[in-house]
Structure formats: structure tokens, C-alpha cells
Structure 1
Amino acid sequence: MAKTIVITGAGDGLGRALARRFARDGETVVLLGRTLSKVQAVADEIGAPHFAIKCDVGNPDSVRAAFATIAQTHPKIDVLINNAGIFEPFTLGEVSDDQVISQITTNLAGPIFCAREALPLLRGGGQIINVTSEGVALKMPMLWLYAGTKAGLELVSDMWGRELESEGVRVTVVRAGQMFDETKTAPPWPQDVAIRFATENAKVGLNLRERPLSHYNSVTDAFRAVIDMPADLHIGTVALSAARR
């Protein structure tokens, strides 16, 4: 039986790849994104019954409205994939108020808001998949806040797993490595920031140009496997990293 899968940050990158994959697999996909035109373009590409909703995951009112809309046609959902995130390097001395607030609200508060509103639709057999990053383990220079929000999400996920077990909701973390597809462009950071980021990482032995990349389409296989696990199995964390071919 087809599953209903809600994906945040579904307008590009991994979120778009997941939407395309699950649509091909015959599931019903609900695409959430802060920029409606981006998620709508993906929804148009994959066609009905899939649909897009404008949703800023860091805004609780926006999340409430999105899940109220979902509930009108899907009173039961099977999977919530908290994929939306902000990735931006900076030092403590230079970080702005807006940068702190946007990363914490999107990367950590966002999955909390979404899971809270999705919970009534997930009870009795649903699943939450929270996407984190290998940056939690690598502790890359200038990514302390990004890694911190992802580490926090991993802890939250572990505790949700115990809390929600009696409600029939499984919680899994997918800790992802570096990914790409043919449309990926350079990050929209100032050039001096990008240079300092590469330089500081090289100092600790992380050469960004030499590190391997996985294709988004390959990574979707891991999500497929997690979703297809029998109900009597629980996967707490799946750690992915890119491999050289």
C-alpha cells in the first residue's frame, strides 16, 4: 500500500531527490519549502497526486498552517522527513544575530515544530526521519553552530524514540555526508568566507577539494531502506559518508 511521505526542504538538493524517488516508487509525496515556486516546480514535475505547500519550518505558525492543510486530505501520514537546513560557516567573533537565529530556528526548532504538528497524523505506525550531518563527528572549523544544531537534533531524536515508542512512532537519524547533483552550484557565501573556510579546514587535515562526494540519488537508497524496515525493527542512526569510486 502506498505511503504518504512529507518532506521539508523539498525544493532542491536531497529533498528534491527524495521527492522524485518516492514518487517513482509509487508513494504520495507532500513537498514543503520556504520558497513556494521551488517546491511547486518539483510537484509539477512529478505530477499528481503529489503537491507542494509553502512552509517556513522555523516559523511555528507557518508549520501549523502547513500541517492543517495536509490533514484536510491526508488525516494519516506515514513518514515525516525533516530535511530542511541552513549550512553557513562563520567564526564566533563575526556571527550576526540573524545567522544565529536562522540556523537554530531552521535546523533545530524546525524539526521540532514539524514533528509536533505531524504527530497526530503519525500515531499508530508512522515514522520520523531527521537528517543530520557528518559535521557532528568531523567538527569542521567555522561550522560550530551548524554542527551544534545537528548534534542537538540527534540527541532530541534519540529521546523522541523512547518517548514515542508507545504511540507507535519510530524515529531515525540519517547522518549524511557530502552530496551533489548536476545542478548543484557553489555555496552563496562571500568569496573571502569560502577561502577562509577551506583554509581553516585544511589546517586540521580536511581538504575540501579532495573529499569524496555522493550523488543525491544514491543517498535516497538509504532512506528507502529505512522506511522499508519491518515494524518490529528500529534503526536509531544511519551514518552515511561519501566513498571514492
Structure 2
Amino acid sequence: MGKVVVVTGAGQGLGRALSQAFAERGDSVVMLGRTLSKVQEAAGQIDGAAMAVQCDVSSPESVTAAFAEIAKSHGGIDVLINNAATYEPCTVAEATDSQIYSMINTNLIGPILCCRSAIPMLNEGASIINVSSESVEMPFAMLSLYQTSKAGLERFSKSLADELEEMGVRVTTVRAGSMTEEGKAPPNWQPETAMRFVEACQKRGLADVMGFASELSSVVGTFTALADLPSDLTVKAISIGARRPLSGNPG
């Protein structure tokens, strides 16, 4: 019998790829996204059972409404993947209020809100998978807000795992590296910001890893494997990343 899988940030990128992978194997997928038309379009392109639900994970009211809709349509949840995230390079001194609130609310508060709403609906043996970033332990420039939000998410995952142990619910952090997919548009950053980011990272000795990215299709299997762990196993944290640069040359 298939699982009920809820994926946040499912309208594009990793979230869409994960939704496709779970749906293809017969799971019922609930795709959450801030822009309903975008997530509906993504759900319509998936082969399998996929339901689109509007959800701004940074809004308590939106999260509560989204999970109430899931409860009506599916009842329980077997897998929750907190994938939604936002980032934009900026220094703390130059960060706008919007940038600060967007990254912290979406990347850290969002997963907390989704977990809170999901917990009463989790089936026995359910899994929560929180997506973190390799940047937590790498000296990237201009990403202090993003790094802080993801480091906080990792700490939250550890504490939540302890809270839910008696329920038989597993909580896993997936610390992921850069990913790419065919036809994906580059980040919509100002050219000056992008140039400053690259140059600052190179000065910090990251020139050799700036071009590394894995294919989305290579990543999704990690998540399906975590969702299918035997009942006597748990994985608290895992790191995945590219072995070689985007050019395909050995790195």
C-alpha cells in the first residue's frame, strides 16, 4: 500500500523532482507551494496521484489551513519532507528587513510550523525529512542568514527526533549540496550581487567547489530510501553532494 507523502516547496526544483519520484512508485503525494497556480501546474505534469495545496510555510494561518485540507483528503501522513527554502546572497549590514524575515521564516520557522501541524496526523512509523545545506559547514560569503537558518533547522531536527522517539517517528536531516536540472533558470539575482558573491567565495578558498552540482535525478533516491527504512533502523543525519563539477570533468 502506498504512502502519503507531503512535500513543501514542491512547485519546482528538488520538491517537484521528489514529488514525481514518490508518485511514480505509487505513493499519494501532496505538493505544497506558496503560489497555487505554480504548484497546480507542477502537479498536473506528474504521472501518479498528486494533489496541489497552497501553503506559505512562513505563515501559521496558511500552514494550519493546508494541513487541515490534507487531513480531510488523506487523514494520516507517512512522510513529511520540509524542502521549501529561500536564499539570496547579502551581508548582514546590507540585508533588508524583507531578506532577513524571508530567509529565517521560510527556512527555519516554516519547517517548525509544518512539523507542528503534521505531528497529530503522523501514522505509526512515519518519517520527517528536513532538508539542510552543505553551506552550514562551509565558509561561503554573504550567506550568513541562510547558513543560520539551516543550522537552526539541523538543531531543531535533533531535538524533534528526541521528542517523537516514543511515537516511533523518525526525523532525519539531509544536508544537501548544490543541484541542477535541465532547463532550470539560474537564480534571479542582480548581476552585481552575483558577481560579488562569486568573488567573495573565491577569496575564501571556495573556487574549486563553486561549480559542483549534482543532478536532481541522482538525489531523489536518497529520500525514497529514507522513507522506506526498516522499522528497526533510523538515520539521524546524512550528507549528499556532487562528486564533480558541472562540466563533467573529474574534480
How high is the TM-score relative to the length of structure 1?
A: 0.97
1:132 aligned counterpart, secondary structure: strand
Residue 37 (structure 1) aligns with: 37
Aligned partner letter, 1:237: A
Residue 203 (structure 2) aligns with: 203
String of CA shifts for 1:98-122, please: whole Å, max 9, x gaps: 1101111000000000000001111
Residue 73 (structure 1) aligns with: 73
Task: For residue 228 of structure 1, report the CA deviation from its aligned partner.
Answer: 1.3
Q: Please list, as runs of the form range in 1=range in 2, the aligned pairs for 1:160-171 lying within 5 A after superposition.
A: 160-171=160-171
* Contact map agreement 2:92 2:145 (CA 8 A) in 1: no
2 CA distance for matches of 1:32 and 1:19?
10
Residue 122 (structure 1) aligns with: 122
Which is further off, 43-52 or 182-191? Answer: 43-52
2:132 aligned counterpart, secondary structure: strand
1 CA distance for matches of 2:31 and 2:109?
19
1:126 aligned counterpart, secondary structure: strand
Task: For residue 211 of structure 1, report the CA deviation from its aligned partner.
Answer: 2.7
* Contact map agreement 1:139 1:147 (CA 8 A) in 2: no
Q: Please list, as runs of the form range in 1=range in 2, the aligned pairs for 1:1-245 lying within 5 A after superposition.
A: 1-46=1-46, 49-207=49-207, 211-244=211-244
2:124 aligned counterpart, secondary structure: coil
Task: For residue 74 of structure 1, report the CA deviation from its aligned partner.
Answer: 1.2
String of CA shifts for 1:15-64, please: whole Å, max 9, x gaps: 00001111111111000000111110111112563210010000000000
2:80 aligned counterpart, secondary structure: strand
1 CA distance for matches of 2:29 and 2:208?
34
2 CA distance for matches of 1:77 and 1:111?
15
2 CA distance for matches of 1:124 and 1:219?
26
2:112 aligned counterpart, secondary structure: helix
The count of corresponding residues between Structure 1 and Structure 2 is 245
Aligned partner letter, 1:143: L
2 CA distance for matches of 1:198 and 1:42?
31
String of CA shifts for 1:120-142, please: whole Å, max 9, x gaps: 11152211000000000113110
Where does the alignment leave 5 or more consecutive residues of structure 1 unmatched? none
How high is the TM-score relative to the length of structure 2?
A: 0.95
- What is the alpha-carbon root mean square deviation over aligned residues? 1.3
2 CA distance for matches of 1:29 and 1:208?
38
